[in-house]
């Protein structure tokens, strides 16, 4: 394999924006059930783009319309362990009336590509397609086999995507030992001569749960001391206002140490208010990785204004740090009290790996080649990704979807929010970095 030139350009840069626009224009909204459009159209689009350059992609449909695309690229040394590059094609829903630009139009304005999925995560899907198509056209084999997986259903826990493939088609991932995917590799300007790129090496586990309280039904005009709504609301309010204790994991400790060094000031996890003020736009991401959390998200009860219902329900998005699941569940039950029944709607483990090895060195090398003041650092994601499913196969997962971001862009604030967008220059930067990364992986 020839050493890449320091000033080379990647032909994939020329089409990455169009690929991302095409993907955004395919509505793959995931409502958490099967009422949405599904991912079949996106899976077919990806398969077509891969087949055009000589690959043999396969489409796997786990439920009508819920489809994923997988392909394998032969490397120069097939005896080496393979690398997985995976991304999801589904997105959370969007209400067009709330947006500056139509969330499914893929419009370019103010130097950014706007739309649902622009950063979560059709940007990485497009970068992967652009790099792979360029390498296949130019005959540049990767050093080892690469498995590409464009997956359904990540936004609802991956049951019909990654989890389905791991459970029913695990042979697709034979020989794979490491993988990269979303929400990592993005930049944070620490100072004029240093730009940090946060690589995800850990993510919180999840307990999405339904809470139920039974009470005594009756007429709304009567005094009722066993009102299910009252009991549930009091429990949910306690939970929503609870201040969870700080628990510093290995990954978060490493990140804070790196950040302290970069900023030239100590960061105290026990004094979060002072610490977070120094982190700018990434404060939202970092702050939630210091504690377990449980956010009430839905309430339901009753059917008529003058009828006290016999039951009330709520849904909660619970997240726990690696190594702290038992503590989380114990605290949860204590806060809710004995009247509240809880059941998991979806649960999955926390994952964490170390920030070392050849793959990490390849990330740093690729970033430095495109940004001389780059330093890769580990961090924990407060949410979850399909890496949880692949961890069951022993695949060590990293979040590495490289983006160089303007300091003023609220990157963390755009996930699942309105006006999601990705800088066009950031997409092109990420394509170049990803291509260099593959050369060294």
DSSP assignment string, 209-262:
EEEEEE---EETTS--S--HHHHHHHHHHHHHH--PPP---HHHHHHHHHHHHH
Q: What is the pLDDT of residues 423-437, one digit of tens each?
A: 999 999 999 999 999
Domain 202-348 grouped into CATH 3.30.70.360: yes
Q: How confident is the model at residue 2 (pLDDT cuts 50, 70, 90)?
A: very low
What's the pLDDT score for residue 5? 43
Name the nearest CA neighbour of 124 among 145, 104, 149.
Answer: 149
CA–CA dist 325, 328 (Å, integer): 5
Q: Burial, 112: exposed, middle or buried (Cβ in 10 Å; 0-12, 13-18, 19+)?
A: buried
Q: What is the pLDDT of residues 389-431, one digit of tens each?
A: 999 999 999 999 999 999 888 888 888 999 999 999 999 999 9
- The DSSP bridge partners found for residue 342 are 211
- The DSSP bridge partners found for residue 379 are 200
CA–CA dist 401, 408 (Å, integer): 19
Hey, what are 79's tokens? 């005896």
CB atoms within 10 A of CB 82: 22
Check: CB of residue 124 under 8 Å from CB of residue 9.
Answer: no
CA–CA dist 141, 104 (Å, integer): 34
The more confidently predicted of residues 280 and 120 is 120
Q: What is the pLDDT of residues 42-66, one digit of tens each?
A: 999 999 999 999 999 999 999 999 9
CA–CA dist 109, 144 (Å, integer): 39
Cut 0.75: pTM above it: yes
Name the nearest CA neighbour of 158 among 402, 385, 407, 396.
Answer: 385
> Is it the case that residue 28 has pLDDT exceeding 90?
yes
Question: Could you tell me where in the chain the CATH 3.30.70.360 domains are found?
Answer: 202-348
Question: Could you tell me where in the chain the CATH 3.40.630.10 domains are found?
Answer: 13-187+383-440
Helices (H), 268-322: 272-276, 283-287
> Is it the case that residue 271 has pLDDT exceeding 80?
no
Q: What is the pLDDT of residues 208-243, one digit of tens each?
A: 999 999 999 999 999 999 999 999 999 999 999 999
CB atoms within 10 A of CB 122: 33
Q: How confident is the model at residue 9 (pLDDT cuts 50, 70, 90)?
A: low
Neighbour-count burial for 410-423, b at 16+ CB within 10 Å, e otherwise: ebbebbeeebbbbb
> Is it the case that residue 11 has pLDDT exceeding 70?
no
- The DSSP bridge partners found for residue 200 are 379, 399
Q: Which CATH number fits domain 13-187+383-440: 3.40.50.11740, 2.40.50.180, 3.40.630.10, 1.20.1280.50?
A: 3.40.630.10
Average pLDDT, stretch 98-123?
A: 97
Instruction: State the DSSP H helix or E strand holding residue 326, giving kind and residue range, or none if neither.
Output: helix 325-336
Determine which of 4-18, 105-119, 204-218, 374-388 has the lowest per-residue pLDDT on average.
4-18
Q: What average pLDDT does the structure give for the chain?
A: 94
Q: How far is CA 255 from CA 135, 188, 205, 375, 379, in A?
A: 34, 12, 19, 12, 6
Name the nearest CA neighbour of 427 among 104, 185, 146, 70.
Answer: 185
What's the pLDDT score for residue 331? 97
What's the pLDDT score for residue 410? 87
């Amino acid at each position: 394999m020839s050493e890449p030139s320091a000033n080379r350009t990647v032909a994939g840069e020329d089409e990455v924006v169009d690929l991302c626009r095409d993907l955004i224009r395919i509505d793959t909204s995931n409502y958490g059930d099967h009422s949405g459009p599904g991912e079949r159209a996106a899976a077919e689009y990806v398969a077509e783009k891969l087949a055009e350059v000589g690959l043999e992609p396969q489409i796997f449909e786990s439920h009508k319309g819920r489809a994923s695309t997988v392909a394998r690229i032969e490397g120069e040394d097939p005896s080496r362990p393979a690398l997985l590059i995976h991304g999801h094609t589904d997105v959370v829903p969007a209400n067009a009336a709330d947006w500056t630009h139509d969330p499914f139009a893929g419009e370019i304005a103010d130097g950014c590509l706007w739309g649902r999925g622009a950063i979560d995560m059709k940007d990485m899907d497009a970068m992967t397609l652009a790099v792979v198509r360029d390498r296949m056209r130019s005959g540049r084999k990767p050093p080892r086999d690469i498995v590409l997986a464009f997956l359904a259903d990540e936004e609802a826990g991956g049951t019909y995507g990654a989890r389905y493939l791991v459970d029913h088609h695990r042979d697709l991932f034979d020989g794979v030992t490491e993988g990269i995917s979303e929400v990592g590799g993005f930049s944070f300007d620490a100072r004029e001569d240093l730009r940090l790129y946060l690589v995800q090496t850990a993510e919180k586990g999840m307990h999405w749960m339904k809470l139920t309280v039974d009470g005594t039904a009756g007429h709304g005009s009567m005094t009722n001391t066993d009102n299910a709504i009252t009991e549930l609301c009091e429990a949910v309010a306690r939970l929503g206002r609870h201040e969870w204790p700080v628990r510093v994991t290995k990954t978060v400790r490493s990140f804070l140490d790196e950040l302290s060094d970069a900023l030239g000031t100590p960061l105290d996890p026990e004094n979060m208010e002072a610490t977070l003020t120094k982190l700018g736009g990434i404060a939202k991401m970092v702050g939630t990785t210091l504690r377990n959390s449980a956010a009430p998200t839905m309430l339901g009860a009753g059917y008529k204004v003058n009828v006290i219902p016999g039951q009330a329900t709520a849904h909660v998005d619970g997240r726990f740090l690696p190594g702290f699941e038992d503590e989380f569940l114990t605290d949860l039950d204590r806060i809710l009290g004995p009247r509240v029944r809880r059941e998991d709607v979806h649960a999955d483990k926390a994952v964490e790996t170390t920030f070392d090895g050849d793959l990490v060195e390849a990330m740093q090398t690729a970033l430095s080649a495109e940004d001389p003041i780059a330093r890769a650092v580990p961090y924990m994601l407060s949410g979850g990704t399909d890496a949880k499913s692949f961890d069951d196969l022993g695949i060590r997962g990293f979040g590495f979807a490289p983006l160089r971001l303007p300091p003023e862009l609220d990157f963390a604030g755009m996930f699942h929010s309105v006006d999601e967008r990705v800088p066009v220059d950031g997409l092109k930067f990420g394509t170049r970095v990803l291509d260099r990364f593959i050369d060294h992986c």
